[in-house]
Chain A
Amino acid sequence: MKDKLGTISRTTSNMPDYDTFCSQFSWEKEYESLDGLPEGGINIAHEAVDRHANGDIGNTVALRWVRKDKSFEDFTYIDLKVRTSRFANVLDKLETQKGDGIFSLLGRVPSLYVAAIGTLKARAVFCPMFSVFGPEPAFQRLSKGKAKVLVTTTVLFENKIKQLLDRLPLLRTILLVDADCHIDDKVRSLSLLMSKAADYYTIKNTQPEDPALLHFTSGTTGMPKGALHVHRAVLTHFVTGKYVLDLHPGDVFWCTADPGWVTGTSYGIIAPLVNGVTNIVDEEEFDAARWYSILEEHRVNVWYTAPTAIRRLMRMDLMPLDSYDLSPLRLIHSVGEPLQAEEVVWGKKTYGMPICDNWWQTETGGIMISNYASMKVRPGSMGKPLPGIEAAIGEVEGEKVHLLTKPLEQGHLLLKAGWPSMFRAYLDEEERYKKCFKGQWYITGDLAKKDADGYYWFVGRADDIIKTSGHMVGPFEVESALMEHPAVAEAAIIGKPNAIIGELVKAFVVLESGFEANEATKLDIKGYSRKKLGPAIAPKEIAFIKRLPKTKSGKILRRLLKARELGLPEGDTSTLE
């Protein structure tokens, strides 16, 4: 019987044949498709908005914002050009300098998208934060990123930021998107400033290596790291939008990720705009029935979502094609964590097309390995490297990398350094950055295998980082917050496998003497951590433990806790205290 999971039928794919395309691909040639600034150099905002506004598709809808009540508002490329120019002028008025950190703490509202592009126009560095972060994660990022300006709402400011101001001396201005008047010299009304700003802005000379975007990502040790990306990254956004997401003129595209995470910025803002299509933004959180109605009502052609959402959709009793007209939909991609084979197969059965999994990280800035519209999908596989990207499997020993070339040998997933959207630094942490590279290879921290036909298969993380709902959570950040609770003597965090969200954050807590290991203490610690960290990071489960397993040198053996939790073999325990 023929494999039903054949290639996606599309005769006009931008990449009709993967192998042929790979052999002809060059970044330089693709770079020529971008416009560049009139005076030389390249700026993401110009490529994403201004060049389209000035050209043939100025009146095309760039952004369709679907409100919580499902009404919507359209912004054409010309509208976006005007608004982002005003925002850039506001930043100039605030005496923002090239390279300054402009942060946002916002839900998915138009101001977020205007702030992102406007910041890039002004050559400042944009750093979006997830709006459900608690005060502590927000502080870590604002402080480490030396934020000068924060764009947020009155409620988020009052609840999360105001209490931090004394600890953030560099934060000069808070721009409130929903305030009608200025609160004081520091806390200002964005709309008031925008109304007085000119709607034209000339982007100054921007070099490809000028910093543009800052995304924080978790590490096993220490607090989150600020991965810095440059304007040249737009080439990866353009190429992946065109050849992976297969975006065509006139397309409607929906990336369901929040811009607080890298996917929501690279693919929820930049890639669709650079490719000149209509980008759907939904203000609301996941709601299965709502999502199908958005796909139907807005005639979405390409949908980029996450395994967590797909698993929720799989829980529905209905066959969506019986209830919704999804005929315009021709391609579905997924990222965040590996898509299981049965989920890919379910996609084929449910939507008439396999869901294309792909792989990348905050550090890579864009999709690196993927299944493609024109390539046969192998369910459960990450796919093949993006044309122009060299990937490999290898063993890492000290400073040396030994490549593993036999099919299905398991090792570190490696990428040859130098792609356009490669992160250029961990902000102020040069040693940590250098450690990621061995010779010409970037060590991704993920373990994988490559089969005889060149498809990559994800195995797991090489470290203790937790992947929950597609987001990375570093154990150290959570443990540090828990330790501040008076009842907690010690804490260790693991990722506990979960059928819906991949892994959930589970805490093991050693109590201080005098505290009882009961439900009330558990709830108190849980409440405390939610307040401090926010629901995206705080532990979903807490268990008490008498003592934590540690190495003789005192390092917590999280992998042992995890093995015990899952009833798995404990592995090498020779270093156990």
Chain B
Amino acid sequence: MKDKETKAVIFQILIKIAPDVDPETLEMEDNIREVLGIDSFDFLQFIIGLDEEFGLKTPEEDYGKITTLKALITYIKAAKQRLIK
């Protein structure tokens, strides 16, 4: 899956959680929670949504590492590669 497609999936999930903000306004280095006004429960739902979509099981201890679009896309790519191996 290309980064662009990963991003599209991320946006699909984000729009359901925070429909008041257009995720397209997010810069790659922006803190997603801060820019979209997402609380920690929403963020948990967001990661669970991503896990379901990508077949991952993101551990709670990694949540703090995936706060930006850039970090998230890199993380998903690496996690999927680990799954393939």
Q: Which chain B positions have C-beta within 8 A of A51?
A: none
Q: Are B19 and A535 in contact (CB under 8 A)?
A: no
Q: Are A540 and B42 in contact (CB under 8 A)?
A: yes
Q: Does A531 interact with chain B (Cβ within 8 Å)?
A: yes
Stretch at the interface among B2-10, B55-63, B72-80: B55-63
Choice from A289, A530, A534 contacting B64 with Cβ under 8 Å: A289
Which residue of chain A has the shortest Cβ distance to B38 in the bound complex?
Answer: A535
Q: Does A317 interact with chain B (Cβ within 8 Å)?
A: yes
Q: Are A500 and B44 in contact (CB under 8 A)?
A: yes
Choice from B21, B33, B60 contacting A288 with Cβ under 8 Å: B60
Q: Are B63 and A530 in contact (CB under 8 A)?
A: no
Q: Are A534 and B37 in contact (CB under 8 A)?
A: yes
The 8 A CB mask of B2-43 against A (1 = contact, 0 = none) is: 000000000000011011110000000000010001111110
Q: How far is the CB of A43 from chain B (nearest CB, A)?
A: 35
Stretch at the interface among A207-215, A429-437, A457-465, A521-529: A521-529
Which residue of chain A has the shortest Cβ distance to B33 in the bound complex?
Answer: A285
Which residue of chain A has the shortest Cβ distance to B42 in the bound complex?
Answer: A535
Q: Are B37 and A132 in contact (CB under 8 A)?
A: yes
Q: Are B18 and A530 in contact (CB under 8 A)?
A: yes
Q: How far is the CB of A313 from chain B (nearest CB, A)?
A: 8
Q: Are A312 and B61 in contact (CB under 8 A)?
A: no
Choice from A132, A501, A531 contacting B20 with Cβ under 8 Å: A531
| Residues of B in contact with A, size category | 20 to 34
Which residue of chain A has the shortest Cβ distance to B64 in the bound complex?
Answer: A287
Q: Whole-angstrom distance between the alpha carbons of A391 and B33 in the complex?
A: 42
Number of A-B contacts (CB under 8 A): 65
Q: Does A21 interact with chain B (Cβ within 8 Å)?
A: no
Q: Whole-angstrom distance between the alpha carbons of A524 and B16 in the complex?
A: 10
Q: Does A350 interact with chain B (Cβ within 8 Å)?
A: no
Given that A500-B44, A523-B15, A527-B20 are known contacts, is A535 also in contact with B63, CB under 8 Å in the complex? Answer: no
Q: Does A286 interact with chain B (Cβ within 8 Å)?
A: yes
Main secondary structure of the interface of B (DSSP, over half): helix
Q: Does A315 interact with chain B (Cβ within 8 Å)?
A: yes
Q: Whole-angstrom distance between the alpha carbons of A501 and B44 in the complex?
A: 11
Which of A313, A501, A530, A534 has the most B CB atoms < 10 Å from its CB?
A530
Q: Which chain A positions have C-beta within 8 A of B39?
A: 132, 285, 469, 535-536
Q: How far is the CB of B13 from chain A (nearest CB, A)?
A: 12
Q: Which chain B positions have C-beta within 8 A of A568?
A: none
Choice from B19, B37, B42, B60 contacting A312 with Cβ under 8 Å: B60
Q: Whole-angstrom distance between the alpha carbons of A413 and B16 in the complex?
A: 40
Which residue of chain B has the shortest Cβ distance to A498 in the bound complex?
Answer: B41
Q: Whole-angstrom distance between the alpha carbons of A272 and B65 in the complex?
A: 31
Q: Does A566 interact with chain B (Cβ within 8 Å)?
A: no
Q: How far is the CB of A316 from chain B (nearest CB, A)?
A: 5
Q: Which chain B positions have C-beta within 8 A of A523?
A: 15-16, 19
Q: Are A535 and B37 in contact (CB under 8 A)?
A: yes
Q: Whole-angstrom distance between the alpha carbons of A286 and B20 in the complex?
A: 23
Q: Does A318 interact with chain B (Cβ within 8 Å)?
A: yes
Q: Does A504 interact with chain B (Cβ within 8 Å)?
A: yes
Name the 8 nearest CB pairs between A and B, nearest first. A527-B19, A287-B64, A527-B20, A523-B19, A315-B60, A535-B39, A531-B20, A286-B40
